[in-house]
């Protein structure tokens, strides 16, 4: 089969969706399918038309089209339809609902007759995560453009949460929605960290942004260290303009000794950090899925989550996590509950590891090939 993946970004751009597209495309190529990725010639912030227009990466022929118009991470390219037409695909697997290429592919399907699959990636965030302009755009598209979804043969949802949104809000028939979760890789090394070395250590790994609700976690630490004085919070990930506020708040609330920022960490090194922590904090009000909570879980680190979204399905409360109300006192209480109860910590850690083992990529990737062949 000739399979074309269409995505907002692709390597060398780094991100959760980009990693998923890369994994699926490389798996398809390894199975002998003629595999292409059509994406935009831009970086996440600027960098327009600075990457090669075409190149082969790990058996994937990558074609980067010229952006005609951009807003934030969204891109429209007038070149895209002609490129897809020239490839004459059997399958087009489009990624991320609401991006302009979703509607372009829907129109092309009626002309070329390929099988079309939309991988939604659950972009159903809260108003506080998005701001008025983006939230309004999402509402407008979900109301006026959802008819384009009828052109797709299947919609891939990451969790039952996304399936419910796709069927109830977007009006998709249940039989069109297939749940295929994201996956994780196993750590390349075994990390046997002494319990006493990881105890009282709280970790956040991900984008340092307001969208991820980091201020909730920072404010919670004030209550944590009042009870557990030697508790430490480590922040890992790219700063999206929030670290200045974090440092100012920490100085005002005498939290500087309790907070450490490492910057971005990639590859297997992040598993060492997960394994050296007692609790993984995921303060986001709505996660599409939650890769980081699974990465923490595979080395036996339970999570404290909040809000509503994919995270509740990815790390079930009471099994792999504790679900807290989204306010500093309650979130702090959940962190302290795990830190102060070793029996509970061990039980949740074992549950987190067993749960994460269900999400290995080698178990998930064959599901896509089966979907293509139906």
Backbone angles phi, psi at 272, to 5 degrees: -60, -40
- Residues 101, 106, 112, 113, Cα dihedral to 10°: 140
Say which range, 14-23, 78-87, 318-327, has the weakest mean pLDDT.
14-23
Contact indicator for 129, 286 with CB cutoff of 8 Å? yes
CA–CA distance, 346 with 276 (Å, rounded to integer)? 14
Which 3 state secondary structure label does DSSP give 5? strand
Quick one: tokens of 32? 């002998």
Residue 72 has pLDDT above 90, yes or no: no
Quick one: tokens of 183? 């996956």
Q: How far is CA 120 from the centre of its chain?
A: 12
Average pLDDT over residues 240-268: 94
Residue 71 has pLDDT above 90, yes or no: no
pLDDT at 299: 95
Average pLDDT over residues 203-225: 95
Residue 190 has pLDDT above 80, yes or no: no
Residue 157 pairs with which residues in a beta bridge? 179
Average pLDDT over residues 109-127: 91
Cis peptide before 139 (omega within 30 of 0): no
pLDDT at 126: 75
Question: What is the DSSP code (8-state) at residue 4?
Answer: E
Contact indicator for 317, 241 with CB cutoff of 8 Å? no
pLDDT at 266: 85
CB count, 10 Å around CB of 125? Answer: 19
**pLDDT tens by residue, 34-47:** 999 999 999 987 88
End-to-end CA distance of the chain, in Å? 13
pLDDT at 53: 97
Residue 138 has pLDDT above 90, yes or no: no
How many residues make up the chain in this entry?
374
pLDDT at 220: 98
**pLDDT tens by residue, 308-353:** 889 999 999 999 999 999 999 999 999 999 999 999 999 999 999 9
Orientation of helix 361-373 relative to helix 16-30, angle to 10°: 70
CA–CA distance, 34 with 53 (Å, rounded to integer)? 19
pTM, 2 dp: 0.87
Residue 60 pairs with which residues in a beta bridge? 57
Contact indicator for 156, 116 with CB cutoff of 8 Å? no
pLDDT at 156: 98
Residue 19 — left, alpha, or beta (φ > 0 → left; ψ -120 to 50 → alpha)? alpha
pLDDT at 357: 96
Contact indicator for 182, 289 with CB cutoff of 8 Å? yes
Contact indicator for 98, 122 with CB cutoff of 8 Å? no
pLDDT at 193: 73
Quick one: tokens of 331? 């979130």
**3-state SS track over 242-304:** CHHHHHHHHHHCCCHHHEEEEECCCCCHHHHHHHCCCEEEECCCCCCCCHHHHHHHCCCCCEE
- Beta strand ranges found along 127-179 (DSSP E): 154-157, 177-179
- The secondary structure element, H or E, covering residue 333 is helix 328-339
Residue 49 has pLDDT above 90, yes or no: yes
Q: Which domains does the chain have, with CATH numbers?
A: 2-180 (3.40.50.2000), 195-359 (3.40.50.2000)
pLDDT at 176: 96
Strand pairing of 115-119 and 91-95? parallel
| Confidence band, pLDDT 50/70/90 cuts, at residue 304 | very high
Backbone angles phi, psi at 126, to 5 degrees: -80, 165
Mean pLDDT of the chain: 94
pLDDT at 129: 73
The contacts of residue 328 (CB under 8 Å, 6+ apart) are 216, 219, 220, 222, 223
């Amino acid at each position: 089969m000739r399979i074309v993946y269409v995505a907002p970004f692709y390597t060398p751009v780094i991100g959760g969706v980009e990693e998923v597209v890369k994994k699926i495309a490389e798996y398809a190529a390894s199975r002998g399918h003629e595999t292409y990725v059509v994406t935009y010639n831009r970086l996440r912030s600027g960098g327009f038309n600075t990457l090669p227009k075409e190149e082969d990466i790990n058996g994937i022929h990558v074609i980067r089209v010229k952006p005609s118009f951009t807003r934030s991470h969204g891109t429209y390219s007038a070149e895209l339809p002609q490129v897809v037409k020239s490839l004459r695909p059997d399958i087009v697997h489009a990624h991320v609902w609401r991006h302009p290429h979703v509607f372009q592919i829907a129109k092309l399907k009626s002309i070329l007759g390929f099988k079309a699959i939309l991988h939604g990636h659950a972009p159903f965030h809260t108003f506080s995560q998005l701001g008025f302009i983006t939230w309004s755009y999402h509402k407008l598209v979900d109301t006026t453009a959802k008819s384009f979804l009828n052109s797709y043969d299947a919609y891939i949802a990451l969790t039952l949460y996304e399936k419910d949104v796709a069927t109830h809000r977007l009006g998709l028939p249940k039989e069109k929605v297939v749940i295929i979760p994201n996956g994780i890789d196993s750590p390349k090394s075994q990390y046997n960290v002494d319990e006493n070395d990881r105890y009282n250590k709280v970790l956040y790994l991900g984008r340092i942004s307001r969208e991820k609700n980091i201020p909730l976690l920072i404010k919670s630490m004030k209550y944590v260290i009042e009870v557990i004085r030697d508790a430490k919070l480590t922040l890992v990930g790219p700063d999206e303009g929030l670290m200045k506020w974090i440092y100012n708040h920490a100085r005002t609330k005498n939290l500087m000794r309790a907070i450490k920022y490492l910057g971005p960490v990639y590859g297997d090194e992040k598993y060492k950090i997960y394994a050296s922590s007692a609790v993984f904090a995921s303060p986001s009000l709505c996660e599409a899925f939650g890769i980081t909570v699974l990465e923490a879980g595979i080395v036996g680190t339970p999570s404290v989550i909040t809000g509503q979204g994919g995270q509740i399905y990815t790390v079930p409360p009471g099994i792999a996590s504790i679900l807290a109300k989204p306010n500093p006192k309650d979130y702090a209480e959940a962190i302290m509950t795990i830190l102060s109860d070793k029996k509970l910590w061990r039980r949740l850690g074992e549950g987190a590891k067993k749960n994460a083992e269900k999400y290995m990529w080698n178990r998930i990737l064959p599901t896509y090939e089966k979907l293509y062949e139906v």
